[in-house]
Amino acid sequence: MKERPLRTTVIGSYPLPGWLEFACAHLDQFGQADRAELRDDAVIAAIHDQVAAGLDVITDGEQTRLDFNLSFYGHLDGLDLEASPPRRFGPPAHDQRGKHRVTGKLGGARGLGVVEEFKRLERLAPAGPALKASVPGPYTLSGRLEPNENYPDRYALTEALVPVVRRELSDLAGAGCREITVDEPSMSCYAHREDPARLADIFNRTVAPVVGKCRLSTHLCFGNYKGRAVGPRIYRPMFPAFLDLTVDEIHVEMASREFAELEIIGEIAARRDVAVGIIDVKSYYIETPQDVAERVRRCLKWAPAERLSLAPDCGLSQTARWAARQKLKNMVEGVNVVRGELKLD
């Protein structure tokens, strides 16, 4: 169990500063040392905002990834990366990303780059907050690959990626990372039409090498690319199968769904820790500390404080930085109100 009741945590990503996005579009004008400095500065900015908010757990904000999983494909072998997106105009959404062609044997001999990210975070973060690394799961990664004669469907592609992710997790634990989240949003988006027990089995085989070696969590959301969901936003189809995920903590998004199916967190808390999304990353309504305190009290009707973590619904990469910063600050302030009421700390 986690070391602090009502722990405040985040899902991996944080908005990229405007200057970083600009720099990313002009990377060819930077030298190698400039780029290293750029990466450090971006992570320092993300750390600063999270520490200022007072979070118990922080990440590197995934500042060195272009988006949640785009950058991982550059690390994989056997791919011909998508040249141009299938839809360029119109409202922003997930269908503006295409699929990569598999041209050889899928592999990841060079790793996925998360160990390097963790080492940078460890080097730059102050003492105090716990440090968390996030790794995309193989099922989610496979979603952007085109099946072919060697890998005839999504499950075949997934199986080829399982060892790649397993090795990254082992390497992370070996590098001293004590808290890892394996993100499988595709599992939560598509559990309604797939066999959820089969998905849970893939997940458990992926994380097997690090079970018991670090604190493991997963984030079950319904999609947030360009701030849009892609799955039917109901948890019921995933349960009870997903209660068998071998993790210490399961995160669910509740704020954007107006706390529908909140009873699910009671079922999760009976087995393991549960992190609840109480901040809506898709809305520019900034939750007040009072809103947050009220939401935490609602969660406490279903799960005890020792089992409960509080977080935004998803990563904050699709939310403007000024809003993300205020939302995190208010989240911690609101949780502290309830901590005071319960005389925790």
Enumerate binding residues for Zn ion (CB under 5 A). 221, 224, 314
Torsion of CA 39, 44, 45, 49, to 10 degrees: 150
Read off φ and ψ for residue 116, nearest 5 degrees.
Answer: -60, -40
Q: How far apart are the first and last CA of the chain?
A: 16
CB 11, min distance to Zn ion, A: 6
Task: Pick the closer one to Zn ion by CB: 177 or 314.
Answer: 314
Phi (first) and psi of residue 332, to 5 degrees: -65, -40
Of 340, 298, 311, the closest CA to residue 7 belongs to: 311
Q: How far is the CB of 280 from Zn ion (least distance, A)?
A: 12
Least distance CB 219 / Zn ion (angstroms): 6
Contacts of residue 39, Cβ cutoff 8 Å, sequence gap at least 6: 63, 64, 120
Measured at the CA of 261, the angle between CA 335 and CA 255, to 5 degrees, comes to: 40
Query: CA 24, CA 204: separation in Å to the nearest integer?
Result: 36
Which residue has 């082992």 as its token pair?
170
Output 160 or 324, the one with its CB closest to Zn ion.
324
Smallest CA-to-CA distance from 3 within 293, 309, 212, 279 is with 309
Q: Least distance in Å: CB of 57 to Zn ion?
A: 16
Question: Please, what is the minimum distance in Å from the beta carbon of residue 188 to Zn ion?
Answer: 8
Distance between CA atoms of 324 and 316, rounded to whole angstroms?
A: 6
How far apart CA 257 and CA 208 sit, in angstroms, is 32
Nearer CB in complex with Zn ion: 79/316: 316
Q: Which residue's CB is nearer to Zn ion, number 186 or number 224? A: 224
Q: Identify which of residues 43 and 220 has a Cβ nearer to Zn ion in the complex.
A: 220
To Zn ion, the closest distance from the beta carbon of 101 in angstroms equals: 26
Residue 236 beta carbon to Zn ion: minimum distance, rounded to whole angstroms: 18
CB of 279 or CB of 338, closer to Zn ion: 279
Q: Which is nearer to Zn ion, 30 or 259 (CB)?
A: 259
In angstroms, rounded to a whole number, what is the distance separating the alpha carbons of residues 73 and 256?
30
Start-end of H helices in the chain: 18-24, 32-53, 70-73, 114-124, 138-142, 154-174, 185-190, 196-207, 264-269, 289-300, 321-341
Q: Cβ of residue 329: shortest distance to Zn ion, in angstroms?
A: 21
**Order of strands across the sheet with 179-183?**
7-8, 308-312, 273-279, 249-253, 215-220, 179-183, 133-136
- Cβ distance to Zn ion smaller for residue 56 or 184: 184
Cβ distance to Zn ion smaller for residue 183 or 339: 183
Distance in Å, CB of 234 to Zn ion, minimum: 16
Judged by DSSP in three states, 102 sits in strand
